[in-house]
Amino acid sequence: MEKRFTLWLTGFPGTGKTTVIKLLEKQLIERGCEVKLFDEDMIHTTLKNPCLLGQERRGTHTPGDGPVPTSRIPDGIARIEDIASPHRDTWQNAERKFGDLIKVFVMGPSRDAVGKMAGFAGIAGLSEAPDNADLVLEADKASSEETARKILRSLEERGYLPRLPVSGANYSEEEEAVVRKRLEDLGYL
């Protein structure tokens, strides 16, 4: 892996963040990364609090302040977090702490759907992407696989993941000579 990073996914509950994260974890491992996973369920377990976290409480569990996740991350580890906390200062705190934070907001249902759940703590700020998000994905318009792939491509573009050794459309001169010979030997040139 090029360098360590923290990937923070937030968004409306039920948008498929957990599924996307499972896919990301698998593909990052396949590409040679060591991955640490932190999701909201783990935080719930830690806190012994099964209900949705309210804004105030969420704010107390930022990487900078709370016990989970830990701030000590060795080089070469990708950390993925799945927390429905879109608050600007939460991300700012995390950014100050880690620097290499990629903030992903997973758009989910319509404003109407958000409105129906308005009474639940922590839901209010989730209908629109925070303006400091690095990547905004519309999960309801794409499969989990597509969403995961977009995140991986973004990581490549930002230099956190090595591009696959296939990024160029053209062959080098040496490769072209090999291809030419193969084609000649089958009578194509």
| Strands, E assignment, the chain | 5-11, 34-39, 77-82, 101-107, 135-138
**According to the binding rule CB under 8 A, does residue 121 interact with other proteins?**
no
Q: Is 164 in the site for other proteins (CB under 8 A)?
A: yes
Assess contact for 107 and 136: CB atoms under 8 A: yes
User: Shortest distance, CB of residue 92 to other proteins, whole angstroms?
Assistant: 25
Q: How far apart are CA 161 and CA 182, in angstroms?
A: 33
Among the listed ranges 25-33, 93-101, 108-116, 120-128, the one in contact with other proteins (CB under 8 A) is 25-33
Q: Which is nearer to other proteins, 118 or 169 (CB)?
A: 169
Residue 6: name the closest of 21, 18, 27 by CA: 21
Kindly state whether residue 41 participates in binding other proteins, applying the rule CB under 8 A. Answer: yes
Contact flag: residue 170 with other proteins (CB under 8 A): yes
Q: Is 171 in the site for other proteins (CB under 8 A)?
A: yes
The tokens for 55 are: 């804004």
Burial class (CB in 10 A: 0-12, 13-18, 19+), 42: middle
| Closest CB 1 distance from other proteins, rounded Å | 13
User: Residue 82 in contact with residue 39, Cβ under 8 Å?
Assistant: yes
Cis peptide before 74 (omega within 30 of 0): no
CB closer to other proteins, 128 vs 179: 179
Distance (Å, whole) CA 35 – CA 12: 24
Work out whether 89 is an interface residue with other proteins (CB under 8 A): no
Answer for which of 72, 118, 131, 187 binds other proteins (CB under 8 A) is 187
32 is a site residue for other proteins (CB under 8 A): yes
Binding site for other proteins (CB under 8 A): 13-14, 16, 18-19, 27, 29-32, 40-41, 142-146, 149, 152-153, 164-166, 168-171, 175-176, 178-183, 185-189
